[in-house]
Homo-oligomer: A and B are copies of this chain.
Amino acid sequence: MLPVLVVHGGAGYVPTKRSDDSISGVCSATRAGYKILKEGGSSMDAVVETVTQLENNPTFNAGCGSVLNVKGDVEMDALVMDGKTLDSGAVSAVRNIANPIQLARLVMDKTSHACLTAEGASKFAQTMGVPEVPLESLITEYSRMRWEENLAPDANPVESQMGKMGTVGAVAVDIAGNIACATSTGGLLNKMEGRVGDTPCIGSGGYADNNIGAVSTTGHGEAIMKVTLARLVLFHMEQGNSVEEASDLALDHMKSRVASLGGVVTVDPQGHWAARFSSLQMAWAAAQKDTLHYGLYTGEHFTQSIDGPQQ
């Protein structure tokens, strides 16, 4: 059953013209992460590489392609967690960085802290030699168009949020049985300056424990935080529920308690995995036993050989 990697490209509604890009993006990133696992690499290396590829893909709301805040700026959040030690690293509200997930990993590996924010995170990036990138390199034409639309007097902010949840994340178990998660996001369109969502908040945006499993979440950050969604899934697994059952119980709780939809990718130490969502769609993919699994709508589950023609 090992190794295994499960990846999401965000829960919500993906416009039809962008859905093919979302699916091919998560499939491609999943192949890259799975290759690392197959060659004996660690789950941490695999989830960071997978999320790096998704950050670099302008289709998703993370890294290049992040949504813009109310000032037209990009502020990004990211989290990694190591299930063996429970060490984690996060950054919040970071700007001018191509790959927040790699900076989050540096926080974990190179500091005694678990989270650095804003200017402090930028200064740390400089000391680590992480290049500063121009804001424009993170902004796509699509992001700017949606931001401008949202400034119009007749804009519907709720509708504007649709189609751009797009947070990305991955969970993996490597051959040694070590578990890791990674999540990265540009947050909410038109968010206030300095808004921090669920992604860098351990237990909400993600959680990993070798004894239980790992989860990466996506959806409306403020709602996910209300129920500490990632940790909630794992608590249900600790009570004996399967990865699917636990994921659905936690998503059902978020729906009934705070009336919000979202999605999760989940693994357990044995390599059982799930990609579950209560939203209309979630672009997801998984790799196990040289098979690539993927889907977008509820109930969709396509499979092909991992080395087959590129989806």
Cβ A194 vs Cβ B119 within 8 A: yes
Residue among B85, B112, B117 making CB contact with A194, cutoff 8 Å: B117
A181 to chain B, nearest CB (A): 13
Query: How far, in angstroms, from A111 to B239 measured CA to CA in the complex?
Result: 36
Query: Which residues of B lie under 8 Å from residue A221 when comparing CB positions?
Result: 114
Q: At the interface with chain B, which of A198-206, A244-252, A263-271, A295-303?
A: A198-206
> CB of A8 within 8 A of chain B?
no
- For the side of the interface on A, what is the size category? 35 or more
Known contacts A193-B119, A203-B203; A225 and B114 CB within 8 A of each other? yes
| CA A117 to CA B201, docked complex, whole Å | 13
Task: Say whether A228 contacts B231, CB under 8 Å.
Answer: yes
Query: Which A residues, 84 to 141, have Cβ-Cβ distances below 8 Å to chain B?
Result: 85-88, 90, 92-93, 111-121, 123-124
A239 to B191, CA, bound (A): 37
Q: How far is the CA of A85 from the CA of B257 in the complex (A)?
A: 8
A18 within 8 A of B: no
Of B93, B115, B222, B231, the residue contacting A114 (CB under 8 A) is B222
- Minimum Cβ distance to chain B for residue A30 (Å): 28
State the CA gap A55–B193 with chains docked (Å): 26
Q: Which of chain B's residues has its CB closest to A81's CB?
A: B226
With contacts A203-B228, A226-B87, A228-B228 known, is A117 near B114, CB below 8 A? no
A194 touches B225 (CB 8 A): no
What residue in chain B is nearest A191 (Cβ atoms)? B113
Nearest Cβ in chain B — how far from A154, in angstroms? 20
| Set of chain B residues within 8 Å of A226, measured between Cβ atoms | 86-88, 114, 202
> Residue A207 at the B interface, CB < 8 A?
yes
Q: With a 10 A CB-CB cut-off, give which of A121, A191, A207 has the most chain B CB atoms.
A: A121
Additional 5 contacts, C-beta under 8 A, given A114-B196, A114-B197, A114-B226? A93-B120, A113-B191, A120-B195, A123-B194, A203-B231
8 A-B pairs with least C-beta separation: A120-B194, A118-B118, A86-B226, A120-B193, A203-B228, A115-B196, A203-B203, A116-B194
A-B contact pairs, 7 of them (CB 8 A): A75-B120, A86-B226, A86-B257, A114-B197, A115-B197, A115-B225, A228-B231
